[in-house]
Amino acid sequence: MNKYMGLDRAMFDRYAPRQGRKPLLPELSECAQVALMCRMLFREGWNEHIAGHITYRLPNGNILTNPWELAWDELTASDIVTLDSQGNVIEGDWNVTPAIGLHIQLHALRPDINVVIHNHGQWSGIWANLQRVPAIYDQTGAHCGVELPLYNEYAGTFENQATSLSAAEALGDAKWALLANHGALVVGRDLRQAHLRVVTLEWRCKRAYEVELAGGGVPLADAEVEKVSITDANGFPFCWEAMARRELRADPSITD
């Protein structure tokens, strides 16, 4: 395991716990990391029953994903399924969603991304159904920048190959998108970056909804958002580990 998971090394060296203190996390297998990601994002509101899928491309080209049958808050490391680069199951005891084609196509189109996440989030789902892009009102909603595409060519579910390819192509080089009347899609270089993008998106959507209910507010200027969003490239220090520890305290069996 790469214990830093993409975190900027200079930042880690500056702020890391001093030598001799406990590690931020125990050693985790790649399957355990994906299982933890599912648990962490479930807590963030990406919890629509058994909907949603995470794929994590390994250096050897194989892809880890969560099984179709299990909700994100119940699966463990041993439940994670391994696919080849074409989406065929090569290891695992569960089924894989028919909508996995969108992920496979995105991995093929975007060599820069190794993580693809889709679900029908609580707060991002509201704005997707409104077919509107929420403004950014605070620092926590600004971690990943201003641009948020809205893919508005809804044509059913994503198990149709032509539909999923059009969605993959429409994403272009974006880091995330709202899917009109459907949900949200987030991609990332690694699990740390994808996690920050999901939690930032949900927070941005939640705060914007609350601000509108309260009568409106003044969004952050784009220039201020861009100052904060340096975290998107460098990684938010220690956030992934803190949220992972929370899940491990609640259920240590996740790594089994």
**Residues 118/106/193/29 CA torsion (nearest 10 deg):** 80
- Tell me the pLDDT tens digit for each residue of 131-167: 999 999 999 999 999 999 998 865 544 455 555 566 6
For residue 210, pLDDT over 90 is answered with yes
Decide if pLDDT at 4 tops 50: no
This prediction's pTM:
0.89
Task: Report the alpha-carbon distance of residue 198 to residue 6 in Å, rounded.
Answer: 16
Here the tokens at position 254 are 């996740």
Encode pLDDT of 218-229 as tens digits.
999 999 999 999
All domains of the chain, ordered by start, with CATH? 30-255 (3.40.225.10)
